[in-house]
Amino acid sequence: MFRAVVIAVVIGLGSVGITFWALGENIRTALSVPYWAYLCGLGLACLNYLSGALRLRWLARHAGAELGSRAALRAYALGLTSAAITPSSAGQAPAVAFSLTAGGMPAATAWTINVRVWALDLVFLGWSFPVSVLVLGRSTRILGNAQPELVAIGTFACALLVVAVLIFRLRWVTGLAAGAMRLPGLRRWRDKATDFLARVENASTGLRRAPLRLQGALHSATFLVYFTTYFTFYVMVASMRPAAPLLPTMASAQVPSVASSFFPTPGGVGLLELGTASLMRLSTRSATATAAPVAEQEPERAEDLGGPAGGAVIVAAVDDASKARAPVAAAILAWRVFTFYLRMLVGPVLSGAAWRRGARSGRDAPTG
């Protein structure tokens, strides 16, 4: 695990350096983020952990298992750590299952909870990702000449189809997967795969039949898990650019975050920083292009206004253009402190005992 953490940190720091270079900023601006932004980031990180742990507790109770607050927090934190140090965040679900089973929960129940977390995440991303595409399409030129509304509708339709199949017609997917296990070379894993797919389908059905009150609470907790992540980025950017727009800034964090899930680096690091930097750069160009013509037109307004009033108008227009060009790479680094590097510390601290129990049981297990 230590080696994986080192590799992730090295790649992450390299990506940060490239981000500063891509935005044309000096690395010394990393110290320019005000202390209050870090305090807000810490508070949002705590809310993220509490929301994730509470969601696990509710899911465990629905599955008929008891899960204490400390055990739920430990499982969630360990999952975030594993997501940060494994390619494409693939280690998150196994780490959560390991933590839950180390606390005495049956493996089948632990994986049922994981599948239901996966379903809740898909529902949130199914509606929020198209909204982010629409917001970015209208605030930047990322879509070129395409109509952002049409692109957003197409994205939403595709996401809705995927979510509908995974929640209401999951047996189609499990049936195809079970059929694939009959192919030569895969038959040896057929029995285990069949059991796992049946567990996945049962977990999805159980969540769909949960009481509406519980479903509302679970979706609210899921919203907080993601909102705190993206809103942290807005806080960091707003501390550097007070006029930063809320939704475009948060969308600039979500779109690369989703894309980085398919990137083969620890926690999607690299693509996330560079993708966010690119979107922020597009936003900067759009804001600057909007502010510059206004500044050019102000001299005429100054003549009409006369005296200090006209000069104040010019200064205000120039100030708006300067804010649009304010450094943002430091904000990206501060955001990653709470959504990447902090996770490598919190997970091991909270789950040290679980790791030791797992290692001890592995040594005591009979061999041969």
pLDDT digits (tens, 9 = 90+) for 152-200: 777 778 777 776 766 666 666 666 666 666 766 666 666 666 666 666 6
Per the listing, tokens 């927090």 go with 73
Query: Taking residues 231-253, what's their average pLDDT?
Result: 92
> Crossing angle for the helix pair 342-364 and 92-102, nearest 10 degrees?
50
Higher pLDDT, 167 or 77: 77
**Looking at residue 266, what DSSP letter applies?**
B
What does the pLDDT read at residue 202? 66
- Checking if the pLDDT of 287 tops 70, the result is no
Query: Taking residues 311-335, what's their average pLDDT?
Result: 59
> Crossing angle for the helix pair 342-364 and 2-22, nearest 10 degrees?
160
How high does pLDDT run on average in the chain? Answer: 77
| Neighbour count for residue 294 (Cβ, 10 Å) | 16
Give the Cα separation of 299 and 293 in Å (integer). Answer: 11
| pLDDT tens by residue, 130-148 | 888 888 888 776 665 667 6
- Least reliable range by pLDDT among 17-21, 76-80, 277-281, 361-365: 361-365
Query: Taking residues 61-86, what's their average pLDDT?
Result: 92
Q: With bands split at pLDDT 50, 70 and 90, how would you rate the model's confidence at 302?
A: very low
What does the pLDDT read at residue 243? 85
Yes or no: say if 134 and 148 are a contact pair by the CB < 8 Å rule. Answer: yes
- Least reliable range by pLDDT among 50-54, 189-193, 203-207, 293-297: 293-297
Higher pLDDT, 288 or 128: 128
Give the Cα separation of 180 and 176 in Å (integer). Answer: 6
Yes or no: say if 293 and 195 are a contact pair by the CB < 8 Å rule. Answer: no
Give the Cα separation of 39 and 35 in Å (integer). Answer: 6
What does the pLDDT read at residue 80? 94
Q: With bands split at pLDDT 50, 70 and 90, how would you rate the model's confidence at 11?
A: confident
Higher pLDDT, 344 or 362: 344
Query: Taking residues 211-236, what's their average pLDDT?
Result: 94
Give the Cα separation of 117 and 83 in Å (integer). Answer: 14
DSSP labels for 270-333? THHHHHHHHHHHHHHHHHHHHHHHHHHHHHHHHHHH-HHHHHHHHHHHHHHHHHHTS--HHHHH
Query: Taking residues 319-326, what's their average pLDDT?
Result: 48
- Least reliable range by pLDDT among 22-26, 129-133, 228-232, 314-318: 314-318
What does the pLDDT read at residue 239? 92
- Checking if the pLDDT of 110 tops 80, the result is yes
What does the pLDDT read at residue 246? 93
What are the helix (H) ranges across the chain?
2-22, 35-62, 69-85, 92-102, 107-139, 148-168, 170-180, 190-208, 212-240, 246-260, 271-305, 307-324, 329-336, 342-364
What does the pLDDT read at residue 59? 94
| pLDDT tens by residue, 13-28 | 777 777 777 777 777 7
Q: What angle do CA 235, 238, 242 make, to 5 degrees?
A: 150
Give the Cα separation of 257 and 181 in Å (integer). Answer: 32
What does the pLDDT read at residue 91? 86
Higher pLDDT, 253 or 179: 253
Q: With bands split at pLDDT 50, 70 and 90, how would you rate the model's confidence at 312?
A: very low
- Checking if the pLDDT of 70 tops 90, the result is yes
Query: Taking residues 26-43, what's their average pLDDT?
Result: 88
- Checking if the pLDDT of 351 tops 80, the result is no
- Checking if the pLDDT of 361 tops 90, the result is no
- Checking if the pLDDT of 292 tops 50, the result is no
